[in-house]
Amino acid sequence: MGAGQLYESGIERSAREKGNEYVDPYYLYGAADMGDGTYQQNRTDTDNTASSGIYGTSARNYYKGYLDHNSEAQLFDASYIKLREVKLGYFLPKSILGNLPVRDVFVSLVARNMALWTNNIHFDPETAMANTGGGMIPGFENLSLPSTKSYGFNINFKL
């Protein structure tokens, strides 16, 4: 999130005019201390661009400060249902094999990681783990790679 790679970090940027996403300051939600003991709403835009308010900051600090250091914004539902493997096969009849020196020939198509149903749009909850150099840490995602789908063809037989 702090690197600006997730959907949530692009909402305000994508609402701004192309080419000016990083030009003007960004304004965070919250209260602004006016210095006289009073407070006002810091962010005042109504067009979801975070482009007006009292105290602004750079796009990097805006997203890094809010999304990268905000535990609540980083919580994801890790529940999922996954279709791990589908195998469609067929035993060839002995009549087709004729006098071949093989028997019980089984031909199949195999597909793995065919579907994932989850409310988490960012990563596969099963593979999301951070590597600290000292080992894997469950529950923390750090630039995990997407799950790969694989397709294969098998032939099994007995001699």
- Compute the distance between CA of residue 6 and CA of residue 4 in angstroms, rounded to an integer: 6
Q: What are phi and psi of 55, to 5 degrees?
A: -115, 115
Give the start-to-end residue ranges of the domains of the chain: 7-74, 80-158
The reply to whether the predicted model has a pTM over 0.85 is no
pLDDT at 126: 73
pLDDT at 139: 60
Contact 97, 105 (CB under 8 A): yes
pLDDT above 70 for 153? yes
Average pLDDT of the residues in 69-75: 67
Give the tens place of pLDDT for each residue, 61-70: 887 776 666 6
